[in-house]
Amino acid sequence: MTGNALCSADDLAVLRGILGRLAGKKGGSLSEVEGFNKVLERCKKDIPDITPQVRWFIYPLGYAAAARASQPPEQRRKGKTVLEIMRHQGVGACKGIGGYASFNAEGFDLVHRTAVYAPLPYEKAMKMLVLLNGKDYTPQQWVPREIATYSTFYFDVLNAFDNFGSLFDELYGSGESEHGPTR
CB 123 within 8 A of CB 170: no
Task: Tell me how far apart the alpha carbons of residues 175 and 183 are, in angstroms, rounded to a whole number.
Answer: 7
pLDDT at 95 over 50: yes
Per residue in 12-55, pLDDT (tens digit) is: 998 888 888 888 888 888 989 999 999 999 998 987 788 899 99
Which pLDDT band holds residue 165 (cuts at 50, 70, 90)? very high
The overall average pLDDT reported for the chain is 87
Average pLDDT over residues 138-143: 91
Q: What is the pLDDT of residue 182?
A: 46
* Terminal alpha carbon distance of the chain: 56
CA dihedral 28→32→34→38, nearest 10 degrees, is 140
Mean pLDDT lowest among 17-31, 83-97, 165-179: 165-179
Which pLDDT band holds residue 174 (cuts at 50, 70, 90)? low
Per residue in 60-69, pLDDT (tens digit) is: 999 988 888 8
The gap from C-alpha 49 to its chain's centroid, in whole angstroms, comes to 25
Q: For residue 136, how many C-alpha atoms fall within 13 Å in the half-sphere facing its CB?
A: 4
